[in-house]
Amino acid sequence: MDNIINYNNDKGLLAYIQFLASRSLRTQDAGTDPIFDFEDALDQTEIAHLTVDELKKDPEINSLFTERWLPKPINLDELSKLPEGTLGHIYAKEMKARGFDPHFYKKVPVVDDISYMKMLWRTTHDIYHVVTGFETNVVGELGLQAFVLAQTPTPISIMLVSFGMVSISLYQPSKFKPLMTEISRGYYL
């Protein structure tokens, strides 16, 4: 029987079901660990490999994969000294105002293209909030994930947007329309 769901052949699906069932995700203060764990469980899905293949078609992005370039650790105090109006200054100001740690993300060893893609996204994620103008609340985060989807369908972005639509429709239905507005804005930005 090939249609049996088990850990070996459907790790991504089982991770999604566990993610959906997680009670901690129903609150704003759930933290990011469940999201990173979910993202890690999606590593060997077909969409993860297709995403990497699609990204590597662009010669400039392919060179990033080849070099395994990652930004150096961010120092908000140094960035705060940059001229006003620069991306670094604005980023530092936003991060400090929100009390965010630029190194909040779960680290994974970069051993292949998928782990590299995850670490590049994790190390630069908050910069995208500044560049796109999406808030860091749930609705803004899902708008940003839709922006990522429009560029390339990363597994975690697909899952977060779909989960967000389900979750908000069930637990915060008054936010569903604003959510769809932000998802549309992100996708077409």
Whole-model pTM: value is 0.83
Question: Is 162 a domain residue?
Answer: yes
Own/partner long-range contacts of 16-22 (Cβ < 8 Å, ≥24 apart): 16/159, 16/163, 19/159, 19/163, 20/163, 20/166
| Enclosing domain of residue 146 | 46-188
Nearest to 25 by CA among 152, 160, 121: 160
Say which residue the tokens 């990011």 belong to: 32
Eight-state DSSP code of residue 106: P
State how far the Cα of 39 lies from the Cα of 16, in Å rounded to an integer.
9
State the pLDDT at residue 21.
Answer: 59
Predicted pLDDT at 108 = 93
| CA atoms of 186 and 166, how far apart (whole Å) | 18
Task: Indicate whether 2 belongs to any domain.
Answer: no
pLDDT reported for residue 67: 97
Q: What is the dihedral of CA 150, 156, 43, 118, to 10 degrees?
A: 80
Tell me, what's the pLDDT at 38? 81
What pLDDT is stored for residue 104 in this prediction? 87
Distances, alpha carbon 13 to alpha carbons 25, 138, 161, 167, in Å: 17, 23, 15, 17
**Do the domain assignments include residue 20?**
no
Query: Does 29 reside within a domain?
Result: no
The pLDDT assigned to 3 comes to 53
Output the tens digit of pLDDT for each of the chain's 189 residues: 455 444 555 666 666 666 665 654 555 556 777 788 888 888 888 889 999 999 999 999 999 999 999 999 999 999 999 999 999 999 999 999 999 999 988 999 999 999 999 999 999 999 999 999 999 999 999 999 999 999 988 999 998 999 899 889 988 999 999 999 999 999 999
Query: Is residue 114 assigned to a domain?
Result: yes
Total domains in the fold of the chain: 1
